[in-house]
Amino acid sequence: MATIRDVARLAGVSISTVSRVLNKSGYVNSETEREVNKAIQMLKYEPSDVARGLTNKKTRTIALILPDIVNPFFPELSRAVEDVARTSGYTVIFGNSDGQANKEKAYINILKQKYISGIIFASHNLNRDDVEYLQKIDIPFVVLDRAPSQEGCTVVRSNNFEGAKLAVQHLLDVGCKKIAHIYGPQEINTAKDRLSGYEESVKNFKWYSPTLMVPGNFKLDGGMNAAHVLMERHPDVDGIFVGNDLMAVGALKTLLRLGIKVPNQIAICGFDGIHLAEAVEPELTTIAQPIYEMGALAADLLIKKIEGAVVDNRIYELEVKLVPRASTTKEI
């Protein structure tokens, strides 16, 4: 491993000069610069990020804290973050928080010790204290999917409320006469917004009843169980808007096992737009979030912040899109 000293010696200049050409800062004679670059090439010199980190307190490494990479929403998001980061010369550390505030805090501490440049939180446990702490120790961060319960946060999310309305409208459009909703954990903002969107859309129908809303855990088995509950309560339901795709796939499983035809007897619409929705048969209609774009935008904003650009601490809300597929395409 060549060091900056080796380069300086070979090029016959001082360390300072090499540092200057490296960072394109200050004055360097173009002739000298050429010499230095030649030496760099010859020695295959690469500056040590660690040494730089020690002086700069920046390491060109960002962290992505998410609940659980196994949840299929997050791989796509992670991919986007990594793509953008890599292109911009950053590496990505990832950590699973399992939605536990203490794991998240522990990570913040470790990351601070490592002079991480910035953090993206795709987790749901960042509270006011954490935010204040991050601001105090001056680590740039971007949050996914959080309501702006606190000032001074850059938030990337999609329009869950409108998405839910879109879902219900679509189910109505394909002829559904009684639409139920399976919702996710209400601590999670997205789940809450989607539930609100559903309620808002259906509350004025004569068939509306609060019992049409069944809770789930945002996982496969949650969707399966909720569908069972629903079929017992309301066997006459002919459309279900499910709070996320994973539960929607679970609900689909239950219905198929009960011998119910999807979409002809019951149409299903999910939310998220993960690949899984296309793996099942019939393929799942969904309200697709621009998952990749969300990750890419979050990474982009974070890097801008890190590099000192002025980033508005505001909510970047992206639009969702109805993706109609077989699970709501009733045959005539």
Partner DNA sequence: AAATCATGTGGTACCGCTACCACAATGTCC
Partner DNA sequence: GGACATTGTGGTAGCGGTACCACATGATTT
Residue 313's region, left for phi above 0, alpha for psi from -120 to 50, else beta, is beta
- 123 neighbors 146 (Cβ within 8 angstroms): no
The nearer residue to a second copy, 214 or 220, going by C-beta atoms, is 220
Find where tokens 């209609």 sit: 285
| Positions 146 through 205 that interact with a second copy (CB under 8 A) | none
- 306 neighbors 118 (Cβ within 8 angstroms): yes
Least distance (Å) from DNA to the CB of residue 281? 55
Dist CA 295 CA 130 (whole Å): 21
Least distance (Å) from a second copy to the CB of residue 94? 6
Least distance (Å) from a second copy to the CB of residue 259? 12
Residue 69 near which of a second copy, DNA, none (CB within 5-8 Å, type-dependent): a second copy
Segment contacting a second copy by CB under 8 A, of 104-112, 142-150, 179-187, 308-316: 104-112
Residue 272 touches a second copy, criterion: CB under 8 A? no
Residue 99 touches a second copy, criterion: CB under 8 A? no
CB neighbours of residue 106 within 10 Å: 13
Question: Binding a second copy by CB under 8 A: which of 72, 163, 243, 270?
Answer: 72
- 163 neighbors 141 (Cβ within 8 angstroms): no
Least distance (Å) from DNA to the CB of residue 58? 9
Least distance (Å) from DNA to the CB of residue 28? 4
Residue 95 touches a second copy, criterion: CB under 8 A? yes
Residue 314 near which of DNA, a second copy, none (CB within 5-8 Å, type-dependent): none
- Contact residues toward DNA (CB under 7 A) are 1, 3-5, 12-17, 19-20, 22-23, 25-32, 45-48, 51-52, 54-56
| Positions 231 through 260 that interact with a second copy (CB under 8 A) | 249-250, 252-253, 256-257
The nearer residue to DNA, 27 or 136, going by C-beta atoms, is 27
Least distance (Å) from a second copy to the CB of residue 37? 18
The nearer residue to a second copy, 70 or 310, going by C-beta atoms, is 70
If 0-12 CB within 10 Å is exposed, 13-18 middle and 19+ buried, where does residue 19 land?
middle
- 240 neighbors 267 (Cβ within 8 angstroms): yes
Residue 189 near which of DNA, a second copy, none (CB within 5-8 Å, type-dependent): none
Least distance (Å) from DNA to the CB of residue 231? 60
Question: Binding a second copy by CB under 8 A: which of 281, 307, 314, 319?
Answer: 281
The nearer residue to DNA, 5 or 275, going by C-beta atoms, is 5
Q: Which residues bind a second copy (CB under 8 A)?
A: 1, 46-51, 53-54, 59, 61, 68-70, 72, 74-76, 78-79, 82-83, 86, 91-96, 109-115, 137, 220, 249-250, 252-253, 256-257, 275-276, 278-281
